[in-house]
Copies of this chain bind each other. A is one copy, B any other.
């Protein structure tokens, strides 16, 4: 028996008893005739005490311990003279009577402490040591607890977790697949799933009624920061449902998780159409922790034009001038304003410039384009924004869609600068009525905005031929704090409609049959109305943890080149194995 208790377990009630602990040496303090060792395991930290008067032999052994040695100690629990309220075991210490070094340890390349001295790269290479640090392990404990709560909640709601296959068939639609050569079927390949989409729809055809799975998915994309080639989804599907049923069910799940894990309660989640999200926030995942909605001084969609005809060529020559009002930012210095201009002019954002207008204490407006716009004009701006003394109006100009995108970035920056984006202030939002299709300039083809099984809104079906771009999807995203946590749709369950969709997407009958034939065939045998959604589990964990990085919530993440630097994968493989595969 290696231990009678864990390092987080002993209390005053144990004083006087003899116990055995095992763990890692976190700290050794040698003080001449005495020594203290902090012994750590997953459950906590216990102070070990050594005293020359009690045992010179043990004291000598303590002196030989190094950081991260694995030891086993037996001794009696004693009340501490100076208690440590910051430690659950801070009332007691263990007076060591015997000590066994179970394993020595080289000095770690960084300190195993909450605030480590290790940089990102070294901590990734020694991930097994980084995982020894409390905050990193706490992230994975959170992940475990969230998964447990999700599974139990959905099980209670009659969902069945069904494992779908990992070795499936490649489909050119969507992102790039990872593929696996089949040795037994030369020249043929499996693909790793980007999602279990078709399988969960087949399970609905099978009458499973309510399905979920917490499941690894794979995308061979050029990795951006915080994208992983393998990621985990909470994948769900329900039969005999309309959109409202699904929103209710998963809003219920989200509320349950927030309540159980964070102690936060919510009223009904607000809802917003995609069109409004784009108009008011310039993006389909608005961060509504703060207001700062867009105001259009001029745009193809606006009924007014408050900027044209004043000889300001920049505003005259564009179709849109859109702005935000940053409450209380009127005190921004010239340098800060120049900083904002530099920000929007960065190539990633691509604005040509920034116009500002400050509302002074007396209510008058001062703008960077004063020479074109008189007090009267600026007053009309002020009113349009509902701006007050001390506010700062920021305007971008250009093409409607690009300007919205750029202004979204500026809005988020202002939100951050003004301290309006507290990670623990959770603001969920359903975004609805996405476009069904988006037009790809390059190929001249329509692409499914979500995937080819997404149903159009019933009232928009007739537009599929006349105006495909105007067709709205029966789709929904759950956005929390500006992050898309999950999304899904009501599916097409009618084979004729599915065929029309494939036609629209430019699939030939043969292509559609070759790639999705098994699903389309299945739909001929009695497919129920169904729909579902998928949450990004890595993202959900980071949201609950209050972090922006999903990597912190993955035990063994890969870097931006898709490498696991700890195990050094991918890597070369045996020539023999290549030959067996026919290469």
- A interface with B by C-beta (< 8 Å): 1-3, 22, 24, 40-43, 68-70, 102-106, 108, 126-129, 131-132, 137, 140-141, 143-144, 147-148, 151-152, 155, 160-170, 172, 176-185, 187-192, 198-199, 202-203, 205-209, 216, 218, 220, 222-223, 229-230, 232, 240-242, 245, 493-494, 518, 522-529, 554-556, 558, 561-564, 566-574, 577, 580-581, 583
Residues of B contacting A523 with CB < 8 Å? Answer: 103
**Complex Cα–Cα for A221 and B46 (A):** 49
Is A562 within 8 A of B185, CB to CB? yes
Residues of B contacting A572 with CB < 8 Å? Answer: 187-189
**Complex Cα–Cα for A470 and B28 (A):** 43
> Shortest Cβ distance from A9 into chain B, in angstroms?
11
Is A161 within 8 A of B147, CB to CB? yes
**Complex Cα–Cα for A274 and B216 (A):** 38
**Complex Cα–Cα for A236 and B555 (A):** 16
Residue of chain B at shortest CB distance from A170: B573
> Shortest Cβ distance from A190 into chain B, in angstroms?
5
Residues of B contacting A167 with CB < 8 Å? Answer: 178, 218, 229-230, 558, 562, 564, 569-570
- What would 10 more interface pairs be, CB under 8 Å, given A163-B232, A181-B181? A152-B152, A165-B555, A167-B229, A180-B180, A182-B562, A182-B570, A184-B220, A184-B222, A188-B570, A518-B567
Is A493 within 8 A of B103, CB to CB? yes
From B144, B522, B526, B566, contact of A104 by CB (8 A): B526
Most buried by B among A105, A199, A527, A528: A528
**Complex Cα–Cα for A198 and B555 (A):** 13
Residue of chain B at shortest CB distance from A147: B161
Is A166 within 8 A of B526, CB to CB? no
From B68, B137, B207, B569, contact of A169 by CB (8 A): B569
> Shortest Cβ distance from A146 into chain B, in angstroms?
11
Is A181 within 8 A of B182, CB to CB? no
From B198, B203, B218, B571, contact of A166 by CB (8 A): B218
Most buried by B among A68, A169, A206: A206
Report how many copies the assembly holds.
2
Residue of chain B at shortest CB distance from A215: B216
**Complex Cα–Cα for A524 and B222 (A):** 35
Is B571 within 8 A of A42, CB to CB? no
Given A161-B147, A525-B68, does the pair A207, B42 have CB atoms closer than 8 Å?
yes
Residues of B contacting A183 with CB < 8 Å? Answer: 176, 220
From B188, B218, B493, B583, contact of A583 by CB (8 A): B583
Is A568 within 8 A of B518, CB to CB? yes
Residues of B contacting A561 with CB < 8 Å? Answer: 184-185
**Complex Cα–Cα for A40 and B209 (A):** 12
Is A526 within 8 A of B105, CB to CB? yes
Residues of B contacting A189 with CB < 8 Å? Answer: 570-573
Given A179-B180, A526-B104, does the pair A209, B41 have CB atoms closer than 8 Å?
yes
From B179, B190, B555, contact of A181 by CB (8 A): B179
Residues of B contacting A580 with CB < 8 Å? Answer: 176
**Complex Cα–Cα for A131 and B42 (A):** 43
Residues of B contacting A162 with CB < 8 Å? Answer: 140, 143-144, 555
Is A68 within 8 A of B526, CB to CB? yes
Q: What are 22 sample pairs from A and B whose C-beta atoms fall under 8 A apart?
A: A1-B245, A2-B529, A24-B526, A70-B528, A131-B202, A143-B163, A148-B161, A165-B556, A167-B570, A169-B569, A169-B571, A170-B577, A172-B577, A176-B183, A184-B222, A184-B561, A189-B572, A190-B569, A199-B555, A199-B556, A518-B567, A583-B583
Is A168 within 8 A of B564, CB to CB? yes
Residues of B contacting A526 with CB < 8 Å? Answer: 24, 68-70, 103-105
From B106, B169, B180, B199, contact of A525 by CB (8 A): B106
**Complex Cα–Cα for A43 and B158 (A):** 10
Is A555 within 8 A of B164, CB to CB? yes
Is B555 within 8 A of A22, CB to CB? no
**Complex Cα–Cα for A518 and B125 (A):** 9
Most buried by B among A106, A229, A240, A523: A240
Is B128 within 8 A of A205, CB to CB? yes
**Complex Cα–Cα for A31 and B306 (A):** 76
From B43, B148, B172, B230, contact of A155 by CB (8 A): B148
**Complex Cα–Cα for A571 and B137 (A):** 41
Is A164 within 8 A of B567, CB to CB? no
Is B180 within 8 A of A529, CB to CB? no
Is A168 within 8 A of B24, CB to CB? no
Is B24 within 8 A of A170, CB to CB? no
**Complex Cα–Cα for A253 and B515 (A):** 43
Residues of B contacting A164 with CB < 8 Å? Answer: 555-556
Is A568 within 8 A of B169, CB to CB? yes
> Shortest Cβ distance from A570 into chain B, in angstroms?
4
Given A105-B525, A222-B184, A526-B68, does the pair A179, B573 have CB atoms closer than 8 Å?
yes
